[in-house]
Structure 1
Amino acid sequence: MRMKVSVKHTVDRWFNKIAKNPALSITVSILWLMVLGWVAFGWNLGNIGLIDETEPLFAEASRQMFVTGDWITPFFNGDTRFDKPALIYWCQAIAYHLIGVNEWAVRLPSAIAAFGLVCLGFYTIQWYLVKQEELEQVSRPTRRYLTSFIAAALMALNPETIIWARTGVSDMLLTGCIASALLCFFLGYAGGQGENSSPLHPSHSPSAQSPLALSEAEGIPNALFPNKWYLAFYVLIAGAILTKGPVGIVLPGLIVVAFLLYVGKVREVLREMRLLVGILVILALSVPWYALVIWRNGWNYINSFFGYHNLERFTEVVNGHSAPWYFYFLVVLLGFAPYSVYLPASIIRLKFWQRSHWRSLERFQQFGLFAWFWFASIFGFFSIAVTKLPSYVLPLMPAAAILVALLWSDLFSDTKTRQTIPVSSPTPPISASLLRISGWVNVVFLSILATALLKITHILGTDPAISNFHELIEKSGLPVIAGIIWLVSAVSVAGLLLSRRWNYIMSINLIGFVAFVIFVLTPASFFIDRERQLPLRELSAAILEAKQPNEELIMLGFKKPSVVFYSQIHVNYLKFPQEAVEHIKNKAAKGLKPSSVLLLAEQKKFLKMDLQPDDYKNLSTKGAYNLVRVPFKKMKNEKIDIS
């Protein structure tokens, strides 16, 4: 017990020293964020090849923009690609210009978006806790720093964020825009009561300078936006619209309106937000590209993007992506693991149903309530949508991190104030029974996770690109390492619960997840890349070396967009062997030059073409794929039975 108290005193002394030295506090915060960002988003970011099927579609469309200079219409493999708006392509093309056409450039926009969001989340938590200390007239640097450190770690170190921040698609950029916009909205909303205050200068003292005076002194015109956080909100909304379309304004709009209706401040806040001017800002930033792409492509773009990729995805099942009503419960449970087990306690702690209580609080004290509306609105919106994908709920992960971090903040306080919770606190302290139940659920969840990973080969399906997939997984030893990591974590959490040292439990979960990333996920990603994607990259290099001018490349039986990106040539996708044979014979009959085609096929599909050894020349075999050259002279008069 004496050692336990000594450790607490030491920690409190450290954070008190940090809080009293602004330069030191900034340095420590920056170092923490940099370490988090590097481990979560930067480490080995570009050392793994592009992952089929989606990532190369974005990478190649961006490369086409970079090469052709056409920054309006995205193209892939010679066809227009209207799935997503242009912002992600612009960001990747700019990255190509800065660091070259490579995997780092493809994923850099996603990593930067994730890192920027984590930094803004860290700042917002710090700001909120400082305001709470000012109201309570007590300084609690230990609670403030530990809570903000954990909030940033939870935002960065969860499976959903790790995956999409390291993937060169639009999902993380959308999340960065939407989540950052919501944080900016709350900073604007909470930083001042009405038009005559600013979150950058939160003093309520009558002697404090007005935002107008401060802005004029800084030479910044603020007649339209006295509160610059609201302006940032509108700019980020425009970014979200340019990243994924109408959902970029629908989601944050739904969250903000639902929150304001609940706290009874709709008219008041919309006036101070300069809503009409804000809409003009959004339109001015987002509409020009849409106008240009529609002007150039007409109804083809309107029907494809607004009809198929937006309306139909919400009202109908698209590409077979259907799922049961409870799908997103599982996605959040696993995508925010292992901290997701504390979400129920985090939500119960808020008592969000006590509307009169929340409406009576200062604006900044409604931060937890705002995070709840953020989480629930996105969860409900996509649960209603018919098409379901795990990435759709990525924008709620920052809200989940905030909710759990605020739950944990009840356990962090300085030694002198640990025994009391001020009356002005927006939520009562977490009950011991609620924390104890959540803790044991944590132990059970980690134990189940460890068992599942130890038996992963019995759970995973087969991969046609890797014939001996299960055997290779077993030989790698990764399932055993993963199982040990989470079993040790489960035992450690159980030990902390029994000794009532609850405030260390989240650290165990975070350490376990970091160990899992370093010793399991990273080696597994290299292993899968070597077995699944490397053969295609090697074949792409072989294609570049063997291809004759104007020689067609046919891909039979599968679609791997990475071949288009790495070979940088057009690929003709054909699904069936008979279709490929007929296509080659038609070209042979026309006497086209050159008098051959390159054929990249899965070995099983290639065998079904029933070609004789003299009918083709084998150029390369990698993994499950064959690259051959088929001369026309062998196909012109030959009858081939592939029934």
Structure 2
Amino acid sequence: MPSLTSALDRLATLASASHARACVLLVLLSLAAFLPGFQTLQPLDRDEPRFAQASKQMLETRDFVDIRFQDEARHKKPVGIYWLQSATVAAGEALGVPQARTQIWLYRIPSLVGAIATVLLTYWALLAFVSARMALLGAALMAACVLLGVEARIAKTDAMLAACAVATMGALARTWLDWTRSLAFVPSSRNWLVFWGATALGLLLKGPIVPMVWGLAILVLSLRERSFRWLKPLRFGPGLLLCLVVVLPWFLAIAWKTGGSFFAESVGQDMLGKVAEGQEKHWGPPGLYLLIFFGTYWPAAAFAAMAVPFAWLRRREPQVLFLLAWIVPSWLVFEAVPTKLPHYVLPLYPAVTALLLLAVLNDGIDRFRRGSVATALLVVIVPLALTGVIVAANWSLDGTIPYLALPFLLLALFVAGTVVAAFRRSDFEGALWRGVVASLLLGLGVYGFAVESLRSFKLSPRLAEAVRSVGCSDPAVMTVGYREPSLVFLVGTDLAMGADGSAAATFLAQPGCRVALVEARHAAAFQAALPATGITPRLVTTLRGFNLNGGRRLEIAVLTRP
């Protein structure tokens, strides 16, 4: 496709002529990558609705210090993301968004902002290593990255955390490369403010993760130099003071409010629990991140794998050494921790991108190396597998075919094929840009159309709609057998969780407008308990769907008082 090649080349040349143009293009590219499905995708159990519900309760109670999910203390992460989510929802309410507090897309706005910031900060960080044109390509690859696209659409900490990590490492890179005389320009005098400002925000978002990433990198580089003097421009004294000013007020407030239990739970149970064992069924063996890398970093993962020999041969050069110090120590820590979640390694992907670009610029990718074309074919595997899974899921669960999504999925597959063709011509830059195009098409097909057609996955939204259809404005609701956080978020904070069918029968017998959601496994106990209550409930509807967390089909009856 010579026309596509020339169009992408002209676009890259035009946009990289100035930083302002590059940033405009990257923002537009990010919006094209992240907005499909942003508003229509249902709350994704279980983490997303837990974060959103806790933020919603802050607005309900006006308590912006403690973090709670219903009556349960949620002392796992610091308060930063809850403040950001509460602020966006409050702004939505002020602007007149209907039912703003149950609009999950409002809670996702901080993640969207964080993902776009990650792309822009990747561009800024890469300027320390490569030309503006290649930095533009690297940032575009981050916008196309599957994992960042997922995190941009989920209302939790990780997209914003990635932005903080990239900001600190971009500042650290300028300090290191200036020390080693590998930087063509002198870092800004405000470089230290970027480093410590991003660190402070990272501490409020997820505790020590951002300091861990730059701390391990500093340790490796300082051992290499046998000195910490190169860190002087970062002004650790004023920087640490800035962090204390930003984070200490809330930490003192939560310590006073909870009697210190926040730190016992967040550090003692959550953080150390993840180190000791795989929490919440998220255990994984060492090496898992390396295995899923080819899916989470698609479409650039195959080419990044080909850059490994280059990185090893040039490992002593200041630029490559810094990137390896950014990636390897933290990656090893994440692999060693039993709890495995794909997003843990996201803050390391911009460094992988930088290594890939350096390999491209320095002839570090060998098109003729044995197995190189087979490795490049991995670019085709993701859209091919995803298309097959989506079609099979639609047909198996809902008896439909995602007709609207198929053209985009097949076009993404075709463009992915041209990526391999460009690679075989040794047009590596063109191949990577084509990968960006393939990712945009794939995201549009998956999030814009395919996921929307999977009605069976939308149990909580359908149940919430059924509750609203009973006719009273504020019914009391109990659920039995289906306890997903998304249902709490959509139905209301006061949603009761029944132990069994008899609890639902007793609940319906009490005065007032009441609705019970009874999963089929509890139906017999519910019917057996009815005669003692003296009521005959009205069946509003019966909904069938598939619970991804339990991995099983469910049938749930929606019942109300007669």
- TM over 0.5, shorter chain: yes
Post-superposition CA distance 1:18-60 (Å, at most 9, x none): 87xxxx6245313311221211223442233322222111112
Residue from 201, 204, 208 that aligns with 1:242:
204
Hey, what does 1:181 align to over in structure 2?
Answer: 168
Structure 1 unaligned runs (5+)? 130-143, 204-210, 212-226, 359-365, 411-427, 461-467, 632-643
1:231 has 2:231 as partner:
no
* Residue identity in the other structure for 1:55: E
1:267 has 2:228 as partner:
yes
* Residue identity in the other structure for 1:97: A
Contact 1:457 1:474 in 2 (8 A): no
Q: Partner of 1:85: helix, strand, or coil?
A: coil
State the distance in 2 between where 1:622 and 1:320 align.
Answer: 27
Q: What is the aligned length?
A: 537
Post-superposition CA distance 1:274-301 (Å, at most 9, x none): 2233222222222221221111112432
* Residue identity in the other structure for 1:524: A
Matches within 5 A, 1:28-427: 28-100=21-93, 101=100, 102-129=103-130, 144-191=131-178, 202=186, 227-262=189-224, 264=225, 266-351=227-312, 354-355=315-316, 358=317, 366-408=318-360, 410=361
TM-score by length of 1: 0.75
**Fraction of identical pairs, as percent:** 21
Q: Residues 188 and 105 of structure 1: is their aligned pair in 2 closer, same or farther, counting only changes over 3 Å?
A: farther
Contact 1:446 1:489 in 2 (8 A): no
Contact 1:85 1:244 in 2 (8 A): yes
Q: Partner of 2:438: helix, strand, or coil?
A: helix
User: Looking at CA atoms only, which structure, 1 or 2, has the larger radius of gyration?
Assistant: 1
State the distance in 2 between where 1:116 and 1:353 align.
Answer: 30
Post-superposition CA distance 1:216-242 (Å, at most 9, x none): xxxxxxxxxxx3212221121121111
Hey, what does 2:552 align to over in structure 1?
Answer: none
* Residue identity in the other structure for 1:29: A
State the distance in 2 between where 1:550 and 1:511 align.
Answer: 47
Q: Partner of 2:281: helix, strand, or coil?
A: coil
Post-superposition CA distance 1:68-127 (Å, at most 9, x none): 221100122232211221000000111112223333321110111111121122123235
* Residue identity in the other structure for 2:304: L
1:438 has 2:438 as partner:
no
TM-score by length of 2: 0.84
Q: Partner of 2:449: helix, strand, or coil?
A: helix
State the distance in 1 between where 2:537 and 2:11 align.
Answer: 76
Contact 1:442 1:490 in 2 (8 A): no
Post-superposition CA distance 1:252-276 (Å, at most 9, x none): 21122223323x0642123333223
State the distance in 1 between where 2:129 and 2:425 align.
Answer: 31
Residue from 517, 527, 548 that aligns with 1:610:
527
Structure 2 unaligned runs (5+)? 94-99, 545-554
Hey, what does 2:480 align to over in structure 1?
Answer: 556
Q: Partner of 1:553: helix, strand, or coil?
A: strand
Q: Residues 393 and 27 of structure 1: is their aligned pair in 2 closer, same or farther, counting only changes over 3 Å?
A: closer
Hey, what does 2:433 align to over in structure 1?
Answer: 507
1:429 has 2:363 as partner:
yes
State the distance in 2 between where 1:25 and 1:330 align.
Answer: 38
1:571 has 2:495 as partner:
yes
State the distance in 2 between where 1:237 and 1:431 align.
Answer: 35
Q: Residues 379 and 485 of structure 1: is their aligned pair in 2 closer, same or farther, counting only changes over 3 Å?
A: farther
State the distance in 2 between where 1:178 and 1:14 align.
Answer: 26
Contact 2:405 2:445 in 1 (8 A): no
* Residue identity in the other structure for 2:51: F
Q: Residues 260 and 574 of structure 1: is their aligned pair in 2 closer, same or farther, counting only changes over 3 Å?
A: farther
* Residue identity in the other structure for 2:518: A
* Residue identity in the other structure for 2:228: R
State the distance in 2 between where 1:514 and 1:280 align.
Answer: 43
Hey, what does 2:385 align to over in structure 1?
Answer: 452
285-294 or 156-165: which moved more? 285-294
State the distance in 1 between where 2:298 and 2:513 align.
Answer: 53
Q: Residues 286 and 438 of structure 1: is their aligned pair in 2 closer, same or farther, counting only changes over 3 Å?
A: farther
Q: Residues 567 and 479 of structure 1: is their aligned pair in 2 closer, same or farther, counting only changes over 3 Å?
A: closer
Contact 2:15 2:25 in 1 (8 A): no
Q: Partner of 1:47: helix, strand, or coil?
A: coil
State the distance in 2 between where 1:189 and 1:608 align.
Answer: 67
Hey, what does 2:517 align to over in structure 1?
Answer: 600
Deviation at residue 557 of structure 1 after TM alignment = 0.8
Q: Residues 388 and 595 of structure 1: is their aligned pair in 2 closer, same or farther, counting only changes over 3 Å?
A: same
- State the superposition RMSD in angstroms: 3.5
Q: Partner of 2:478: helix, strand, or coil?
A: strand
Contact 1:255 1:373 in 2 (8 A): yes
Contact 1:82 1:301 in 2 (8 A): yes
Q: Residues 490 and 117 of structure 1: is their aligned pair in 2 closer, same or farther, counting only changes over 3 Å?
A: closer
